[in-house]
Amino acid sequence: MRPPLAIGLPVYNGGSLLEPALESILGQSFGDFELHVVDNASTDSSHEIARAAAARDSRVRVHRNEDNIGAPRNFNRAFELAEGTPFFKWAAHDDLLERPFLERCMERITDDPGCALAFTRTRVVDLEDRVLRDYDVELPGASSPDPVVRYAELLLTPHACYESFGVFRREVLARTPRIGAYQGSDRCLLAEVALYGRIEHVPEFLYRSREHGARSVRVPVHERARHWFGQGGGAFVFPYFRFLGEHLALLRRAPLTPRQRLACARRLATWLSRNWRLLRGDLRVAARAAVGRVAPAAARGEEGA
Protein backbone atom coordinates (compact mmCIF):
# COMPACT_ATOMS: atom_id res chain seq x y z
CA MET A 1 0.00 0.00 0.00
CA ARG A 2 1.12 3.55 -0.71
CA PRO A 3 1.97 5.69 2.32
CA PRO A 4 -0.35 8.61 3.17
CA LEU A 5 2.27 11.25 2.40
CA ALA A 6 4.53 11.93 -0.57
CA ILE A 7 7.33 14.48 -0.47
CA GLY A 8 8.77 16.05 -3.59
CA LEU A 9 12.22 17.62 -3.38
CA PRO A 10 13.23 19.50 -6.54
CA VAL A 11 16.91 20.37 -6.70
CA TYR A 12 19.41 21.99 -9.02
CA ASN A 13 23.05 22.16 -7.92
CA GLY A 14 22.10 21.73 -4.28
CA GLY A 15 25.68 21.09 -3.27
CA SER A 16 26.50 20.60 0.39
CA LEU A 17 23.07 21.81 1.57
CA LEU A 18 21.20 18.85 0.09
CA GLU A 19 22.56 16.16 2.39
CA PRO A 20 21.49 17.75 5.72
CA ALA A 21 18.09 18.55 4.18
CA LEU A 22 17.65 14.87 3.27
CA GLU A 23 18.77 13.78 6.73
CA SER A 24 16.25 16.10 8.39
CA ILE A 25 13.45 14.55 6.30
CA LEU A 26 14.47 10.93 6.72
CA GLY A 27 14.92 11.41 10.48
CA GLN A 28 11.33 12.58 11.07
CA SER A 29 9.29 11.06 13.90
CA PHE A 30 6.54 10.45 11.30
CA GLY A 31 8.12 8.06 8.83
CA ASP A 32 5.26 6.77 6.69
CA PHE A 33 6.11 8.65 3.49
CA GLU A 34 7.93 8.36 0.20
CA LEU A 35 10.47 10.97 -0.88
CA HIS A 36 10.95 11.86 -4.55
CA VAL A 37 14.15 13.78 -5.30
CA VAL A 38 13.92 15.38 -8.75
CA ASP A 39 17.33 16.50 -10.00
CA ASN A 40 17.04 19.19 -12.65
CA ALA A 41 20.19 18.16 -14.61
CA SER A 42 22.56 19.32 -11.88
CA THR A 43 26.21 19.75 -12.75
CA ASP A 44 27.46 19.25 -9.20
CA SER A 45 27.23 16.31 -6.78
CA SER A 46 23.46 16.62 -6.14
CA HIS A 47 22.55 13.48 -8.08
CA GLU A 48 25.20 11.37 -6.34
CA ILE A 49 24.09 12.64 -2.92
CA ALA A 50 20.48 11.70 -3.69
CA ARG A 51 21.48 8.29 -5.03
CA ALA A 52 23.47 7.59 -1.87
CA ALA A 53 20.41 8.48 0.24
CA ALA A 54 18.28 6.11 -1.86
CA ALA A 55 20.81 3.33 -1.30
CA ARG A 56 20.47 3.82 2.46
CA ASP A 57 16.70 4.31 2.64
CA SER A 58 14.08 2.55 0.51
CA ARG A 59 11.66 5.48 0.91
CA VAL A 60 13.82 7.61 -1.41
CA ARG A 61 13.24 7.65 -5.17
CA VAL A 62 15.61 9.61 -7.39
CA HIS A 63 14.61 11.09 -10.75
CA ARG A 64 16.90 13.03 -13.05
CA ASN A 65 15.88 15.31 -15.90
CA GLU A 66 17.98 14.98 -19.04
CA ASP A 67 17.87 18.75 -19.49
CA ASN A 68 17.20 21.63 -17.13
CA ILE A 69 13.46 22.28 -17.46
CA GLY A 70 13.39 25.35 -15.20
CA ALA A 71 12.50 25.60 -11.53
CA PRO A 72 8.67 25.90 -11.83
CA ARG A 73 8.33 22.86 -14.12
CA ASN A 74 10.66 20.87 -11.86
CA PHE A 75 8.54 21.70 -8.80
CA ASN A 76 5.45 20.54 -10.66
CA ARG A 77 7.18 17.40 -11.92
CA ALA A 78 7.93 16.50 -8.30
CA PHE A 79 4.18 16.69 -7.60
CA GLU A 80 3.32 14.60 -10.67
CA LEU A 81 5.87 11.88 -9.90
CA ALA A 82 4.61 11.56 -6.33
CA GLU A 83 1.04 10.75 -7.34
CA GLY A 84 -1.35 8.45 -5.53
CA THR A 85 -1.10 9.66 -1.93
CA PRO A 86 -3.72 11.75 -0.11
CA PHE A 87 -1.17 14.29 1.15
CA PHE A 88 1.80 15.99 -0.48
CA LYS A 89 4.65 18.24 0.60
CA TRP A 90 7.35 20.09 -1.33
CA ALA A 91 10.74 20.16 0.37
CA ALA A 92 13.45 22.75 -0.20
CA HIS A 93 16.96 21.41 -0.75
CA ASP A 94 18.45 24.08 1.54
CA ASP A 95 15.99 24.07 4.47
CA LEU A 96 15.66 21.83 7.51
CA LEU A 97 12.81 20.20 9.41
CA GLU A 98 12.78 19.65 13.14
CA ARG A 99 12.08 16.02 13.97
CA PRO A 100 8.33 16.42 14.85
CA PHE A 101 7.51 18.62 11.80
CA LEU A 102 5.69 16.00 9.71
CA GLU A 103 4.02 14.42 12.73
CA ARG A 104 2.52 17.73 13.87
CA CYS A 105 1.36 18.70 10.37
CA MET A 106 -0.18 15.30 9.70
CA GLU A 107 -1.98 15.39 13.06
CA ARG A 108 -3.47 18.76 12.08
CA ILE A 109 -4.61 17.89 8.55
CA THR A 110 -5.41 14.15 8.46
CA ASP A 111 -8.76 14.09 10.23
CA ASP A 112 -9.91 17.59 9.27
CA PRO A 113 -11.34 17.66 5.73
CA GLY A 114 -11.72 21.44 5.92
CA CYS A 115 -7.96 21.87 6.33
CA ALA A 116 -6.23 22.24 2.95
CA LEU A 117 -2.70 22.94 4.21
CA ALA A 118 -0.86 22.49 7.50
CA PHE A 119 2.38 24.20 8.45
CA THR A 120 4.36 25.20 11.53
CA ARG A 121 6.12 28.37 12.59
CA THR A 122 9.48 29.22 10.99
CA ARG A 123 12.89 29.98 12.35
CA VAL A 124 15.53 31.57 10.08
CA VAL A 125 19.04 30.12 10.43
CA ASP A 126 22.41 30.61 8.74
CA LEU A 127 24.58 28.04 6.97
CA GLU A 128 25.96 26.90 10.34
CA ASP A 129 22.39 26.36 11.63
CA ARG A 130 22.71 29.30 14.00
CA VAL A 131 19.41 31.04 14.69
CA LEU A 132 19.20 34.48 13.09
CA ARG A 133 15.61 35.30 13.97
CA ASP A 134 12.14 33.89 14.45
CA TYR A 135 9.85 34.65 11.55
CA ASP A 136 7.10 36.61 13.28
CA VAL A 137 4.50 37.11 10.54
CA GLU A 138 1.30 35.34 11.49
CA LEU A 139 -1.72 34.74 9.28
CA PRO A 140 -4.64 34.23 11.69
CA GLY A 141 -7.23 34.87 8.99
CA ALA A 142 -5.92 31.88 7.00
CA SER A 143 -7.75 29.51 9.36
CA SER A 144 -11.08 31.35 9.16
CA PRO A 145 -14.17 29.37 8.07
CA ASP A 146 -14.87 32.18 5.58
CA PRO A 147 -13.00 31.81 2.25
CA VAL A 148 -13.15 35.57 1.64
CA VAL A 149 -11.33 36.24 4.93
CA ARG A 150 -8.75 33.57 4.11
CA TYR A 151 -8.16 34.97 0.63
CA ALA A 152 -7.80 38.53 1.94
CA GLU A 153 -5.28 37.39 4.56
CA LEU A 154 -3.04 35.66 2.01
CA LEU A 155 -3.36 38.50 -0.51
CA LEU A 156 -3.05 41.60 1.67
CA THR A 157 -0.68 40.52 4.45
CA PRO A 158 2.98 40.67 3.36
CA HIS A 159 4.48 37.24 4.02
CA ALA A 160 7.36 35.06 2.86
CA CYS A 161 5.31 32.14 1.43
CA TYR A 162 6.97 29.58 3.72
CA GLU A 163 3.60 27.80 3.82
CA SER A 164 4.26 26.50 0.31
CA PHE A 165 6.52 23.94 2.02
CA GLY A 166 3.75 22.68 4.29
CA VAL A 167 1.65 19.52 3.99
CA PHE A 168 -1.10 19.91 1.39
CA ARG A 169 -4.26 17.94 0.85
CA ARG A 170 -3.44 16.52 -2.60
CA GLU A 171 -6.95 16.84 -4.03
CA VAL A 172 -6.85 20.59 -3.30
CA LEU A 173 -3.40 21.12 -4.77
CA ALA A 174 -4.41 19.16 -7.89
CA ARG A 175 -7.17 21.72 -8.60
CA THR A 176 -4.64 24.54 -8.92
CA PRO A 177 -1.99 25.28 -11.57
CA ARG A 178 0.57 24.80 -8.77
CA ILE A 179 3.85 26.67 -9.41
CA GLY A 180 3.54 28.80 -12.52
CA ALA A 181 6.31 30.20 -14.72
CA TYR A 182 5.92 33.72 -13.39
CA GLN A 183 7.13 35.75 -10.41
CA GLY A 184 4.82 35.41 -7.40
CA SER A 185 3.22 32.13 -8.46
CA ASP A 186 3.80 30.65 -4.99
CA ARG A 187 1.89 33.59 -3.51
CA CYS A 188 -0.97 33.07 -5.98
CA LEU A 189 -0.98 29.36 -5.17
CA LEU A 190 -1.40 29.94 -1.44
CA ALA A 191 -4.20 32.46 -2.03
CA GLU A 192 -6.00 29.95 -4.25
CA VAL A 193 -5.53 27.09 -1.77
CA ALA A 194 -7.07 29.36 0.88
CA LEU A 195 -10.23 29.55 -1.24
CA TYR A 196 -10.57 25.76 -1.12
CA GLY A 197 -9.88 25.23 2.56
CA ARG A 198 -8.28 26.48 5.77
CA ILE A 199 -4.54 26.90 6.25
CA GLU A 200 -3.70 25.78 9.77
CA HIS A 201 -0.50 26.62 11.65
CA VAL A 202 0.99 24.46 14.38
CA PRO A 203 2.25 26.92 17.04
CA GLU A 204 5.76 25.43 17.22
CA PHE A 205 8.98 26.49 15.47
CA LEU A 206 9.62 23.31 13.52
CA TYR A 207 10.68 24.66 10.11
CA ARG A 208 14.18 26.06 9.61
CA SER A 209 14.74 28.31 6.61
CA ARG A 210 18.37 28.79 5.68
CA GLU A 211 19.57 32.30 4.91
CA HIS A 212 22.39 32.36 2.32
CA GLY A 213 23.58 34.40 -0.62
CA ALA A 214 22.44 31.98 -3.32
CA ARG A 215 18.72 32.16 -2.44
CA SER A 216 16.53 33.19 -5.36
CA VAL A 217 14.74 35.83 -3.25
CA ARG A 218 17.94 37.86 -3.20
CA VAL A 219 17.69 38.42 -6.95
CA PRO A 220 15.82 41.61 -8.05
CA VAL A 221 12.18 40.93 -8.92
CA HIS A 222 12.38 41.46 -12.68
CA GLU A 223 15.55 39.39 -13.00
CA ARG A 224 13.99 36.66 -10.88
CA ALA A 225 10.94 36.69 -13.15
CA ARG A 226 13.16 36.11 -16.19
CA HIS A 227 15.69 33.62 -14.89
CA TRP A 228 14.28 31.66 -11.92
CA PHE A 229 10.63 31.62 -12.95
CA GLY A 230 11.38 31.63 -16.69
CA GLN A 231 8.67 34.20 -17.36
CA GLY A 232 8.37 34.82 -21.10
CA GLY A 233 8.77 38.11 -22.87
CA GLY A 234 12.53 38.34 -23.36
CA ALA A 235 13.68 41.76 -22.18
CA PHE A 236 10.12 42.79 -21.38
CA VAL A 237 8.55 41.16 -18.33
CA PHE A 238 5.66 42.58 -16.34
CA PRO A 239 5.66 40.50 -13.11
CA TYR A 240 3.15 42.62 -11.21
CA PHE A 241 0.72 42.89 -14.13
CA ARG A 242 1.01 39.11 -14.48
CA PHE A 243 0.38 38.66 -10.76
CA LEU A 244 -2.80 40.75 -11.03
CA GLY A 245 -3.98 38.80 -14.06
CA GLU A 246 -3.38 35.46 -12.36
CA HIS A 247 -5.48 36.54 -9.37
CA LEU A 248 -8.33 37.46 -11.69
CA ALA A 249 -8.04 34.00 -13.27
CA LEU A 250 -8.00 32.11 -9.95
CA LEU A 251 -11.08 34.02 -8.75
CA ARG A 252 -12.91 32.94 -11.91
CA ARG A 253 -12.16 29.23 -11.46
CA ALA A 254 -12.57 29.00 -7.66
CA PRO A 255 -15.81 27.40 -6.35
CA LEU A 256 -17.29 30.60 -4.95
CA THR A 257 -20.77 32.00 -4.82
CA PRO A 258 -21.34 35.22 -6.81
CA ARG A 259 -21.35 37.20 -3.56
CA GLN A 260 -18.09 35.63 -2.41
CA ARG A 261 -16.49 36.22 -5.81
CA LEU A 262 -17.46 39.88 -5.69
CA ALA A 263 -16.14 40.23 -2.14
CA CYS A 264 -12.80 38.69 -3.17
CA ALA A 265 -12.64 41.00 -6.19
CA ARG A 266 -13.02 43.94 -3.82
CA ARG A 267 -10.06 42.67 -1.78
CA LEU A 268 -8.08 42.45 -5.00
CA ALA A 269 -9.05 46.06 -5.75
CA THR A 270 -7.67 46.95 -2.31
CA TRP A 271 -4.39 45.26 -3.23
CA LEU A 272 -4.31 47.26 -6.46
CA SER A 273 -4.93 50.55 -4.65
CA ARG A 274 -2.04 49.80 -2.29
CA ASN A 275 0.37 48.54 -4.94
CA TRP A 276 -0.27 50.55 -8.09
CA ARG A 277 3.30 51.83 -7.89
CA LEU A 278 4.53 48.28 -8.50
CA LEU A 279 2.62 48.15 -11.77
CA ARG A 280 4.02 51.55 -12.69
CA GLY A 281 7.46 50.09 -11.96
CA ASP A 282 6.78 47.30 -14.48
CA LEU A 283 6.21 49.96 -17.14
CA ARG A 284 9.34 51.89 -16.14
CA VAL A 285 11.54 48.78 -16.31
CA ALA A 286 10.09 47.92 -19.72
CA ALA A 287 10.68 51.49 -20.93
CA ARG A 288 14.33 51.36 -19.84
CA ALA A 289 14.72 48.00 -21.58
CA ALA A 290 13.20 49.46 -24.74
CA VAL A 291 15.60 52.42 -24.68
CA GLY A 292 18.48 50.02 -24.18
CA ARG A 293 17.44 48.03 -27.24
CA VAL A 294 16.87 51.10 -29.44
CA ALA A 295 20.20 52.78 -28.65
CA PRO A 296 22.44 49.91 -29.90
CA ALA A 297 20.24 49.58 -32.98
CA ALA A 298 20.66 53.30 -33.73
CA ALA A 299 24.42 53.00 -33.26
CA ARG A 300 24.57 50.11 -35.71
CA GLY A 301 22.62 52.22 -38.22
CA GLU A 302 25.16 55.05 -37.92
CA GLU A 303 28.04 52.64 -38.40
CA GLY A 304 26.48 51.35 -41.61
CA ALA A 305 25.81 54.85 -43.03
The whole-number mean pLDDT for each consecutive block of 10 residues of the chain, a chain of 305 residues, reads 95 94 98 98 97 98 96 96 95 97 98 97 96 96 98 97 98 96 93 98 97 69 61 70 96 97 98 96 87 52 41
Give this prediction's pTM.
0.90
Report the pLDDT value the prediction gives residue 228, as an integer from 0 to 100. 56
Measured distance CA(94)–CA(21) in Å, rounded = 6
Measured distance CA(108)–CA(89) in Å, rounded = 14
- For the four alpha carbons of 66, 72, 75 and 77, in that order, the dihedral sign comes to negative
Measured distance CA(36)–CA(51) in Å, rounded = 11
* Domains of the chain, first to last: 1-94 (3.90.550.10), 97-305 (no CATH)
- For the four alpha carbons of 194, 198, 204 and 207, in that order, the dihedral sign comes to negative
Measured distance CA(92)–CA(127) in Å, rounded = 14
